[in-house]
């Protein structure tokens, strides 16, 4: 069992930055790939970025490449999402999730555990 709690969301102006954190409970955190997803109002939840269990492989959705950076600290059971150059279209609820296959790929069916999300709002 892995429990995930996101934090760090908020309101920021376009061009600003935020750093999201996802704290995990459970001794098996380091065996899971981790991903960040987001859901904008009226839209389906979409993949943003994922990282492998070891932290050496990442996968980014095209619209966030060069602006967002995922990282993980297995000693702290935490995964981070640094978001720079934020745009209004980045607005949404951001969820972290644990990938049972350890890969951090985009398929949502790979993700076994989900946090409750943190709101990110980017004003223009």
3-state secondary structure 29-96: HHHCEEEEEEECCCCCCEEEEEECCCCCCEEECHHHCCCEEEEEECCCCEEEEEECCCCHHHCEEEEE
> What's the whole-number average pLDDT of the chain?
96
pLDDT at 92 (0 to 100):
98
Alpha carbon distance 51, 102 (integer Å): 8
Residue with tokens 């790929």: 105
pLDDT band at 26 (very low <50, low <70, confident <90, very high): confident
pLDDT band at 27 (very low <50, low <70, confident <90, very high): confident
Q: What is the pLDDT of residues 56-97, one digit of tens each?
A: 999 999 999 999 999 999 999 999 999 999 999 999 999 999
pLDDT band at 10 (very low <50, low <70, confident <90, very high): very high
């Amino acid at each position: 069992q892995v429990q995930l709690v996101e934090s760090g969301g908020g309101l920021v102006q376009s061009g600003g930055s935020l750093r999201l954190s996802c704290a995990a409970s459970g001794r098996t955190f380091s065996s899971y790939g981790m991903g960040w997803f987001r859901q904008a109002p009226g839209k389906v939840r979409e993949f943003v970025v994922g990282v492998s269990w070891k932290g050496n492989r990442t996968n980014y959705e095209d619209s966030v490449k060069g602006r967002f950076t995922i990282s993980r600290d297995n000693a702290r059971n935490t995964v981070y999402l640094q978001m720079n150059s934020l745009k209004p279209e980045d607005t949404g609820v951001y969820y972290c999730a644990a990938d049972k296959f350890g890969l951090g790929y985009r398929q949502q069916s790979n993700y076994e555990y989900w946090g409750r999300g943190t709101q990110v709002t980017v004003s223009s």
